[in-house]
Structure 1
Amino acid sequence: MSHTLYLGSYTKRESKGVHQITLDTHKNELVDYKLIAEVDSPTYITFNADKSSLYTISKENEGGGVTAFTRQEDGQYVKRASNDSEMSAPCYIALDEERSLLFTASYHAGYVSVYKETENGIELTDRVQHEGSSVHENQKTPHVHYTDYTPDKKYLMVCDLGTDGVYSYTVSDEGTLTEVSRYTAKPGTGPRHLVFHPNGKTVYLLGELSCEVEVLEYNEVDGSLRYQNRISMLPESHTDFNSGAAIRISKDGRFVYASNRGHDSIVVYKVEADFSLSLVEYVPTEGNTPRDFNLSPDEAHVIVGHQDSDNLTLFKRNEENGTLSLVQKDVHGPECVCIKY
């Protein structure tokens, strides 16, 4: 059996855009790395349901925005539309396929943008500029880092690393945002990404700067979040630089995984009966700067991409206790910062 994985990347050195690689589950190997869409710095990517369309963040000269591609019979993707109206390339992209809306997060400019794809191309429908700052040296201005729907599709959740805020917006059919709630994390947390538990109520928020995961409760009535508790992403023995990166949760809701850049590890947590997290293990990723990782579609493996050492690492996942075992490292994957399937 095999799974196809899709890799977003920077294009500062060797990478030319979006690549794919095949996970051979029988041999426990990643094989057949190849370019499928040429585009400048597609650092985050998403697809429609049948993968006939690929949407990427893209960089254009000093600015950037989004680019849409159409899949060809040979599996390659050809550009069909783009919008480069942003001050700099954004860092996250999400799709509302039903309403043909795209959402991007701008780290550098501190805003969230909404686009609508029409027969005439990709049009900007709204852009909301965040304001504020916080206590860390990297929080002098807003830095929007994530924007995606709640599981019930009622609200768009937006993480702002610079203001320590998680914003809840409603989205109109025309692509207009209205803020309805705002959660403020502990000063210096730096909210980067979040995942929802399958129960639809519990949220795990990754703090890039504090290197902690906050456990929150989501209120579907008003889109608000309420603090429950937090847990460190690092062992006490690690005192050097670190920043949190990606966070994932297993489909059964029993285990949460997060990546450390600096410590260069995956931390594995068990989800307890009250939905708090307890430490299972720290696993070295065998590379530098594991900015993103993902569970395979069958969740039997974990694949890690490294921004600075240009390699992918493959782990076998124990689905009973959540632990990871290294099965392959040093797989060629230049500048990989996003892994999708």
Structure 2
Amino acid sequence: MTHSFSRRAFGLGSFAGALTVAGLPAQAADDTAKAPSQDATPTGRTICYVGGYTKHGPPGGNGDGISVFEMNQKTGILTHQTTFTDIASPSYITLSPDRRFLYAVNEISDFDTTHSGAVTAFKVDQATGGLTKLNTVASGGADPAHLSVHPSGRFVMVANYTGGTVGILHVMADGSLGRMVDLIHNSGPRMPDRAADNPPGNFAISDHSSAHPHMVKTDPGGKFVLVMDAGLDRVYVWTINLETGKLTPAAVPFTTMTPGSAPRHYVFGADGRKLYLLCEQDSKVVVADFDPRTGNIAPKQTVSTVTAHFRGSTLAAGIVLSPDGRFLYASNRLGDSLAVFQVAKDGSLTLVDEIWTHADYGRSLMFDPSGSYLYVANQRSDSITSFRVDKTTGKISFTWDFTPIGSPTCFEFLTIPADPAGVSPS
């Protein structure tokens, strides 16, 4: 994860211990306003979990833990319900495939004597969305920046940014985290701090002093594990043994990106054969063909996340596809903008709009379950901003709704059925 400051170590404080978040009250937000394109509005209630930086991790944030909001499905307004505070810097969170568990990185470097970060597991109350902590384990490296769950639900995979490692953790039957079954250490030559194809006037740099895994996740089929390494400018590909969790390099073990570009996050197209790779340092999206049989990545197109008129410093951060796969969105920090791309039938991209985030240092962005609203976590301005989505054109318009929250960085959404009695027991 890239900042203009160093990653400092902070104490955990009272990190251990279990805490249960009480059930959430019924929706109380104003239902009078009605946004367009609500045809896919889910039944029941929509819960939004928000993670971010606390004082216990770099860069020393203003957040209190994992905040729980309820989303008004008509207006998009987020109403705060409660905050789970017994956790240090949950800068990335994810739900399990069955939505019964939530996992969070603890982006710290002093969890144990090995200067490791940590990963925390929670059980999700299927009737309320409330969280109960299950356990916390070492991540296998300092300052974990990303994690994901294998589609089988059997393994949690974590990218340790400063530690330069990728860890595979076994998931127990009750959703808690077991032992680490594999730990990969990336290595490679020193890369330049800046890319040659930077936007004009870009003084921002990405840390290329060593390996910095920034994202780890599988392809849609769950056969391959892909890792974006922002320090080595590589996209690594492994196969995963579903019995042991061990990783084996693919036939082509990595794809080299533009030197200095700092590949950060990626998203697959709906068919699993197109791959969109976001590079933070030069603010580019690389469109690539992905072979689901071999794991081979073949770049085909590179497009900028800022318009040709832009001048100045910028670092791309988040990337997401619309639910129908017709549009792609990317966030730009420093430049504080969102790029909107149209996706052609062949998977290629065309920039169709760029809009101000109305806040500072937008990180992750995510659609609500209906795809009607797009939310942005603005780390430095301590707020979430939201945008209505025109599902025909892909363009977005600011709702003028600001949700205050300290140092937010990431989201997850959960839909709770209207009839809790119909929820299968967890």
Matched, 1:278 2:350: yes
Contact 2:97/2:149 (CA < 8 Å) preserved in 1?
Answer: no
Specify the SS of the correspondent of 1:263.
coil
Deviations 1:90-138 (A, max 9, x none): 0001112635211000111211111113379521111111111322262
Contact 2:382/2:406 (CA < 8 Å) preserved in 1?
Answer: yes
Contact 1:37/1:76 (CA < 8 Å) preserved in 2?
Answer: no
The match for 1:39 is 87
Contact 1:311/1:333 (CA < 8 Å) preserved in 2?
Answer: yes
The match for 1:128 is 184
The match for 1:27 is 75
Percent identity between matched residues is 28
Matched, 1:230 2:302: yes
Specify the SS of the correspondent of 2:294.
coil
The alpha-carbon deviation at position 184 of structure 1 amounts to 1.0
Deviations 1:183-215 (A, max 9, x none): 111212211000011121111100011100000
TM-score (norm 1): 0.94
Trace 1:70-149 onto structure 2 (pairs within 5 A).
70-72=123-125, 75-84=129-138, 86-96=140-150, 98=152, 100-118=154-172, 121-132=177-188, 133-136=190-193, 138-149=207-218
The match for 1:265 is 337
Deviations 1:151-186 (A, max 9, x none): 111101111111111111111121111111211112
Contact 1:37/1:78 (CA < 8 Å) preserved in 2?
Answer: no
The match for 1:287 is 359
Matched, 1:241 2:289: no
Contact 2:389/2:397 (CA < 8 Å) preserved in 1?
Answer: yes
Residue identity in the other structure for 2:50: L
Deviations 1:255-294 (A, max 9, x none): 0000000111110000123211111111111111101111
Contact 1:30/1:314 (CA < 8 Å) preserved in 2?
Answer: no
Deviates more, 1:311-320 or 1:175-184: 175-184
Query: Matched residues in 1 for 2:269 and 2:388: separation?
Result: 22
Query: Matched residues in 1 for 2:412 and 2:177: separation?
Result: 25
The match for 1:166 is 235
User: If you compute each CA radius of gyration, which structure gives the higher value, 1 or 2?
Assistant: 2
Match of 2:395 among 323, 336, 340: 323
Q: Structure 1: 5+ residue runs without aligned partners?
A: none
The alpha-carbon deviation at position 52 of structure 1 amounts to 2.6
- Structure showing greater relative contact order (alpha-carbon pairs closer than 8 Å, 6 or more residues apart): 2
The match for 2:249 is 179
Query: Matched residues in 2 for 1:28 and 1:142: separation?
Result: 39
Specify the SS of the correspondent of 1:38.
coil
The match for 2:382 is 310
Deviations 1:311-336 (A, max 9, x none): 11111000000000111332112211
Residue identity in the other structure for 1:184: T
Deviates more, 1:218-227 or 1:135-144: 135-144
Structure 1 residues 221 and 122: CA distance shift in structure 2, 3 A: same
Deviates more, 1:18-27 or 1:143-152: 18-27
Query: Matched residues in 2 for 1:202 and 1:336: separation?
Result: 30
TM-score (norm 2): 0.76
Contact 1:305/1:333 (CA < 8 Å) preserved in 2?
Answer: no
Contact 2:77/2:401 (CA < 8 Å) preserved in 1?
Answer: no
Instruction: Find runs of 4+ consecutive structure 1 residues off by over 6 angstroms.
Output: none
Structure 1 residues 51 and 274: CA distance shift in structure 2, 3 A: closer
The match for 2:281 is 209
Residue identity in the other structure for 2:54: T
Specify the SS of the correspondent of 2:260.
coil
Matched, 1:53 2:101: yes
The alpha-carbon deviation at position 71 of structure 1 amounts to 3.0
Query: Matched residues in 1 for 2:69 and 2:90: separation?
Result: 16
Deviates more, 1:320-329 or 1:85-94: 85-94
Trace 1:145-160 onto structure 2 (pairs within 5 A).
145-160=214-229
Contact 1:57/1:93 (CA < 8 Å) preserved in 2?
Answer: yes
Specify the SS of the correspondent of 1:86.
coil
Contact 2:151/2:222 (CA < 8 Å) preserved in 1?
Answer: no
Contact 1:10/1:43 (CA < 8 Å) preserved in 2?
Answer: yes
The alpha-carbon deviation at position 20 of structure 1 amounts to 1.8
Query: Matched residues in 1 for 2:256 and 2:246: separation?
Result: 23
Greater strand content: 1
Q: Structure 2: 5+ residue runs without aligned partners?
A: 1-40, 56-60, 195-206, 414-426
Deviations 1:214-253 (A, max 9, x none): 0000011210100101001112333221111000001221
Residue identity in the other structure for 1:20: V
Query: Matched residues in 2 for 1:209 and 1:121: separation?
Result: 34
Residues paired across the two proteins, number: 341
The alpha-carbon deviation at position 40 of structure 1 amounts to 0.5
Deviates more, 1:287-296 or 1:86-95: 86-95
The match for 1:7 is 50
The match for 1:67 is 120
Deviations 1:12-46 (A, max 9, x none): 24422111222212234222353146310111111
